[in-house]
Amino acid sequence: MNRKFVFTITCCLCLILQTISQEKSPINNTEKYKQFGLVWGLMKYHHSEISKGKYNWDEKFVENFSTLEAINTQENLNQLLLNFILSVEPSKIKKANDTNDLFKKNLDYDWIETYASNEKLYNSLKQLKENAIISDYYVSNKSLTKIPTFQNEKGFKSFDYKIKSHRLLELFSFWNAIQYHYVNKYLMDKNWLSQLDYFVDDFSNGTNQLKYELAKTRLIVALNDSHSYYFAKPVVDSILKFKPPFGVNRVNDTLVISWVLNKLAKKDDLKLGDLIVEVDGMDIKSFSKQKISALFSSSNDAYLKKWDERWLMMNTKDSVKVKIKRENSVTFKYIHLYKTIEDKDYSSLPFFRIEKEWQLIDNNIGYINLKTISKDQIKKAFEEFSTTDGIIIDLRNYPKNISGDDVAQYIYPEREKFIKVLFAMVNRPSLANYDEPSISIIKDPFKSGSSNSKYYNKKIILLVNHYTQSKAEFIGMAIQASPNCFTVGEQTAGSVLNIAVFKMPDGTDVSFTSMGAFYPDGTSAQRKGLKIDSFVKENTSNFIMDQYIIEGIKQIKSKSL
């Protein structure tokens, strides 16, 4: 007998025996909950009839949970999953093949291949995956902006976190929305699907309110999106009961005491400018990673600085051990923390600040702060600054009254495209395309400026930092398209465009960045933040003098950008 033939038959028999063994082997709770949640989510967003809203899909999840609990082998689970698919009206199927020009980095359906040995179940799942007949009950686009809108996610009426099926509904409702409709999913630190086992265990064990809220917090943190802020009161109350009688600025890996409540600070011999280099025996970077990174979703580490400065010194106890440097001395001490503080008498470091929205500085350099300035003030500023050596535009803030166009019209010679945008395709889950919003018919929001022979053609210095976020980053990208712009600062928040909001079954609204932001040359801005030409080098000795403005002046006085 041909040896090759024998070898082939032997391999096939081994595969069959292995499949039979796997199907009859015991299955743990985490695995069966995960598989059910995956199939439930695929049907929600890929099934032609379910996506019309014909079924109360949250209710279907809860109804089937008791049956799921009784399952103890993969074979039985496969049958349950197949029966679940067959329990609803068959989906209309139209296979989609036109994906060549689409963004496909978020596709993640390999889990379906694990059912290849079960022909009926496998074919059913594969057909749904490839289906292009999908309605918009659960997710649609806002007509002009193309922001994904989850208009019929209104919460689960009888939600109770004490019930396991409700907690897992919370998980899979949000997890699948992100799996199929978060355009920046491919940028996460960890693959979204690879984290699912951990999330399932976390929500399964969330039997009291604090454990439940922490599980939800960790789920949201995993998005790595600075727009996804969530900080529940039970979590706050559990870890931030006591606060210090002082404030800090984080400069590199040191906390500098920048203001103090005088009487309480004197009690612990704390002074302005003291350098806190350790807390509870940990260096600041490690302490921040343990305490802040675990609780706040962030696109990058720079964005976490603002939470470090606000929350890092708060604690569950009424005192905390710190290592403090002051001039040439180093001391270890416990400092008092307080639940409530009534003392209002405070002192602060003498930070250099420019109070006006716009003014001349350093003889012949214009300065414009975009935080509260109006359109009319910008016009007056550019008129007055027409003969200056350069202009510093301060975007270390969130502009309240202006758009990018309000600045760009004075610094562009021609109208220019300044941003390339990636949109999620709500009727094609997991896919995206570089498109234009419908509003572009009226005015393209991704172009700025206008034909202007008298545009300001001297140096424009843009100042940015970790407070530059969202709309500010969008405005920043518009300013950067000026032919004479030079950007000074540090990494920005890395969440450039508009948010989408998803209401979880328990009623919690969670935001995430709804589109992908790129420079016209294809460089991504989501997570990375804005391009920086010169990084500011602050240290604990010079930061109160505003090194950003000092560097801006230096660049204007230099011969070239």
Domain end residue (candidates: 289, 321, 348): 348
Q: Taking residues 285-291, what's their average pLDDT?
A: 94
Rounded CA separation 464/115 (Å): 50
Is 232 part of a structural domain of the chain?
no
Residue 465 and residue 304 in contact, taking contact as beta carbons nearer than 8 Å: no
Q: Taking residues 18-40, what's their average pLDDT?
A: 82
| Angle at the Cα of 181 from the Cα atoms of 179 and 187, rounded to 5 degrees | 65
Is 9 part of a structural domain of the chain?
no
Residue 173 and residue 216 in contact, taking contact as beta carbons nearer than 8 Å: no
- pLDDT digit string (tens) for 351-372? 999 999 999 999 999 999 999 9
Q: 189 is written with which tokens?
A: 């630190």
- pLDDT digit string (tens) for 152-162? 999 999 999 99
H/E element, 502: strand 499-503
Same domain, 84 and 33: yes
Is 201 part of a structural domain of the chain?
no
Rounded CA separation 127/301 (Å): 41
Residue 235 and residue 295 in contact, taking contact as beta carbons nearer than 8 Å: yes
By residue range, what is the domain housing residue 68? 29-186
| Percent helix / strand / coil, the chain, rounded to 5 | 35, 20, 45
What letter represents residue 95's amino acid?
K
What percentage of the chain exceeds 90 in pLDDT?
Answer: 88
Same domain, 410 and 535: yes
With a CB cutoff of 8 Å and minimum separation 6, the contacts of 1 are none
- pLDDT digit string (tens) for 49-86? 999 999 999 999 999 999 999 999 999 999 999 999 99
Residue 404 and residue 415 in contact, taking contact as beta carbons nearer than 8 Å: no
Is 217 part of a structural domain of the chain?
no
Is 463 part of a structural domain of the chain?
yes
Domain end residue (candidates: 348, 372, 390): 348
Same domain, 169 and 69: yes
Beta bridge partners of 251: 254
Rounded CA separation 228/512 (Å): 5
Crossing angle, helix 74-86 and helix 119-130, to 10 degrees? 50
pLDDT band at 396 (very low <50, low <70, confident <90, very high): very high
Pair type for strands 319-326 and 346-348 = unpaired
Strands (E), 395-458: 416-417, 420-424, 432-434, 447-448
Is 16 part of a structural domain of the chain?
no
Domain end residue (candidates: 318, 348, 378): 348
Same domain, 542 and 394: yes
Is 300 part of a structural domain of the chain?
yes
Q: What is the DSSP letter of 393?
A: E
Identify the pLDDT of residue 98. 79
Report the predicted TM-score, pTM, of the whole model to 2 decimal places. Answer: 0.92
Sign of the Cα torsion 194, 195, 198, 201 reads: negative
CATH number at residue 269: 2.30.42.10
- pLDDT digit string (tens) for 309-350? 999 999 999 999 999 999 999 999 999 999 999 888 999 999
Helix, strand or coil, per DSSP, at residue 357: coil
Same domain, 141 and 280: no
Crossing angle, helix 74-86 and helix 3-24, to 10 degrees? 80
- pLDDT digit string (tens) for 443-467? 788 999 999 999 999 999 999 999 9
Same domain, 173 and 90: yes
Identify the pLDDT of residue 549. 97
Crossing angle, helix 164-181 and helix 196-204, to 10 degrees? 160
Identify the pLDDT of residue 440. 53
Q: Counting beta carbons within 10 angstroms of the beta carbon of residue 375, is it exposed (0 to 12), middle (13 to 18) or buried (19 or more)?
A: middle
Same domain, 461 and 547: yes
Rounded CA separation 104/110 (Å): 14
Mean pLDDT computed over every residue of the chain: 93
Same domain, 532 and 417: yes
Helix, strand or coil, per DSSP, at residue 60: helix
- pLDDT digit string (tens) for 400-431? 999 999 999 999 999 999 999 999 999 999 99
Rounded CA separation 528/70 (Å): 47
Nearest alpha carbon to residue 459 among 561, 339, 387 = 561
Same domain, 522 and 416: yes
Q: Please give the tally of structural domains in the chain.
A: 3
Rounded CA separation 465/537 (Å): 12
Is 200 part of a structural domain of the chain?
no
Same domain, 34 and 169: yes
Same domain, 118 and 258: no
What letter represents residue 508's amino acid?
T
With a CB cutoff of 8 Å and minimum separation 6, the contacts of 131 are 46, 47, 48, 91, 92, 93, 94, 95, 96
Same domain, 535 and 393: yes
Q: Which of 219-228, 237-246, 372-381 has the lowest mean pLDDT?
A: 237-246
CATH number at residue 407: 3.90.226.10
Beta bridge partners of 499: 513
